[in-house]
Amino acid sequence: MKIELKKILNIEKVKENFKRYSSSRILVIGDIILDHFIFGDVERISPEAPVPVIEVKKEYFTLGGAGNVTLNIKNMNGNVFLVSSIGKDGNGKILKELIEKEKIEYFLIERDIPTIIKTRVIARTQQIVRIDKEEIKNLNKKEIKNLKEIISEKVKEIESIVVSDYGKGFISKEIMYFLKKFNKRVIVDPKPEHFPFYKNVFCITPNKIEAHLGIGKIKIKNFNDIIRVGEEIIKKLKCENLLITLGKDGMVLYQNNKNIYHIPSVAKDVYDVTGAGDTVCGIFSLCLSVNNDVLISALISNFAAGIVVGKIGTATTNQKEFIDFFEKNYENFYIERIK
């Protein structure tokens, strides 16, 4: 059954949500990544090997992973506290400076491993190569103790906990068990191999590949297979809600173990999907913290993702940009209730 968006969400409701964002308080915990972008032009092929020569025009660093989730919330005027780790190195210093520049409150464990960095080389709008530098190592007992102490102190002030799990060693079964015991709303941007950790959370937000790998036994050949995968995840993890992102095909929301909605993509131009999942998870969690409406929160996060994929690199949006985009695109927009 098709439902016109205007019957669920209009510009007045969007603005009403936005006014309340500053009163929210969200804890983001997970793997922080330093995203490094190098932009340039390609005019020739190297004489040393059959590869393009990039003439660098500009480069910059930005917050990735849990840092990008945090920045998405912050730039939409939400109050957020970031808990993560960095290495005792130059890249860790850059990350800390970026966090402080954005005036984000944080607690970072400094570890004896390199800060995770992803370097992307982009010629015009085409990514040529990505270079990852990381050492995956689980937190030790002392680090976990410190982590639990800071979370126990901060959790009294927050509405929701957002887990950004990139599988880099920060999130473990022990940490997830500890987070769930506070009876706060826990929303997880998941890693497939960690699916068993997420039992009984409020919501997980995998993309299509993560959803498939997390269950493993259903091959996705068509849209009906996606629905089946989602139902298996709900059955297996007993999470209250599930939001599967589908790239150009939008997202599927499983609401309160009852209703299933297909929300089409609203993106006009797709230049870069880097960090789009961070945007969905962050904005969904922020909306939810003020309206308690899973469907409206999913719709707003869908529009936010439609904005950021039209930008190059790890990107965010803000309230003014969102309202302009929403006003131009919400007319004649329909979602489908599948069940």
Residues marked as catalytic: 278
Query: Which stretches does DSSP call E strand in the chain?
Result: 2-4, 25-30, 32-45, 52-65, 79-87, 105-111, 117-123, 126-133, 160-164, 185-189, 203-204, 241-245, 251-255, 259-263, 334-337
Closest Cα partner for 110 from 145, 136, 134, 84? Answer: 84
- Give the SS3 label for residue 199: coil
Q: DSSP string covering 263-317, please?
A: E----S--S--TTHHHHHHHHHHHHHHHH--HHHHHHHHHHHHHHHTTSSSS---
CA proximity to 71, closest of 37, 118, 39, 34: 34
